[in-house]
Amino acid sequence: MQYLNYLIIALFLFFIIKRFLKTQGAINIASTNLKGDLNDKNKQFVDVRTPGEYKGNHIKGFKNIPLHQLAQKAVKELSKEL
């Protein structure tokens, strides 16, 4: 029974620590850096929010592809040539 308690605590700590680690492949951009990057034609920006959230407020130049559709639509709608 004691091992089960340790296992539950270890799993809980694992998920808490994993929550605060950076997501692989995701980049946070400061607003000052974004202004310069938006003019770079070699970069593509994707807003992964729902269409309703995107319509409410979005940054010009970002393409809206909802996160749950990203895997299917990315192949067709995003350029690999950049």
**Tens digit of each residue's pLDDT (9 = 90 or more) over 5-35:** 999 999 999 998 888 877 677 777 788 888 8
pLDDT at site 56: 95
- pLDDT at residue 19, rounded to an integer: 82
State what percent of residues in the chain have pLDDT above 70.
Answer: 96
**65 burial level (CB within 10 Å; 0-12, 13-18, 19+):** buried
Give the per-residue pLDDT at 82: 53
| Domain positions in the chain | 40-82
The C-alpha angle with vertex 29 and arms to 38 and 74, in degrees rounded to 5, equals 65
Distances from the Cα of 58 to the Cαs of 1, 54, 55, 82, in angstroms?
52, 5, 7, 23
Give the per-residue pLDDT at 73. Answer: 87
47 neighbors 63 (Cβ within 8 angstroms): yes
Question: Residue 30: what pLDDT?
Answer: 85
